[in-house]
Amino acid sequence: MSERTDQAHDRPGVYSVPGQDYDRDTRYITTRITADGRDGYPVEPGRYRLVVARACPWANRAIIVRRLLGLEPVLSMGVCGPTHDERSWTFDLDPGGVDPVLGIPRIRDAYLARDPHYPRGITVPAVVDVPTGQVVTNDFAQITLDLETQWTAFHRPGAPDLYPEDRREEIDEVAELVYRDVNNGVYRCGFAGTQASYERAYHRLFERLDWLSDRLRGQRYLVGDTLTEADVRLFTTLARFDAVYHGHFKANRNKLSELPVLWAYARDLFQTPGFGDTIDFAHIKAHYYLVHTDLNPSGIVPAGPDLSGWWAPHHREELGGRPFGDGTPPGPVADGERVPDEHAAPRP
């Protein structure tokens, strides 16, 4: 999952404090992997492993960006199961419950290898230095930016430019609003400690969704006429909205499927290679409804919603735009990384 100590998704523990607004702890390990190795970790093919959980929206960003850029051959990926206990995410999907590359049962082990007294949240995504077994970074926002700007020597031919230099200021501005009011906004609703804090978060969330609808009414993507980092960041929250946030987090003014512009936009992205093929709805629902026992003490996982609408025509291509700019779509999902059909939205 992806954030840090109080992170409602990635970190085992208390997510809200009665009587207070939800406050996400954002003190990450900010070491960077760069082309020049300025922090001691140069970009090198095969050296690092990206550890994710498909349930987590923050980790899902890294999965999407890695796939769009074609980094699978040079940056391996370990996938944790959808649930965790108070200690950390586990590699319970792998034979013997051990990651086959890192040789550990829990991502916590890689954090403690970096710092035996690590005091903060055990989160995903995390990038691990395979030779030492130590976490390099769990700074989820910087991870995708560095994949886009520091790993360019290993991007596939035809990889899109998701963070074009001439658009970065606008991308950053939009992404910050999306993070504050939408990505984190759904958590502010779900883990609010009072009625008043919940209602503040609720109104702020839907005001931003309305703003996004207005922005996207006449343009296909959030910034410019191609896919960018901003679209990736919004998509992972929209993909989870009806399945968990609408009910589980009480973000229930409307379902995504009741917001015509955003629903069409989300379907457009979902049907674009690299986006929908990373979404595991079974993992998403299992995580939220089984781990958040304070919100769902029964542990019952809802049977719905109907997922077939994700493949309905969206007609967003009528607005123009070129998803990959001068590039091309990614190829088929790498061997061993395909979301099982029974976990995905059924095709018509």
Q: List active site positions.
A: 56, 187
CA 177 to chain centre: 16
**Hey, what long-range contacts does 29-34 have (CB within 8 A, 24 or more apart)?**
29/114, 29/135, 29/136, 29/137, 29/138, 29/139, 30/137, 30/139, 30/142, 31/136, 31/137, 32/137, 32/139, 32/142, 32/146, 32/150, 33/127, 33/136, 33/137, 33/146, 33/150, 34/146, 34/150
In one-letter notation, the amino acid at residue 235 is F
β-sheet bridge partners, residue 129: 48, 134
Sole residue written with tokens 């760069």: 34
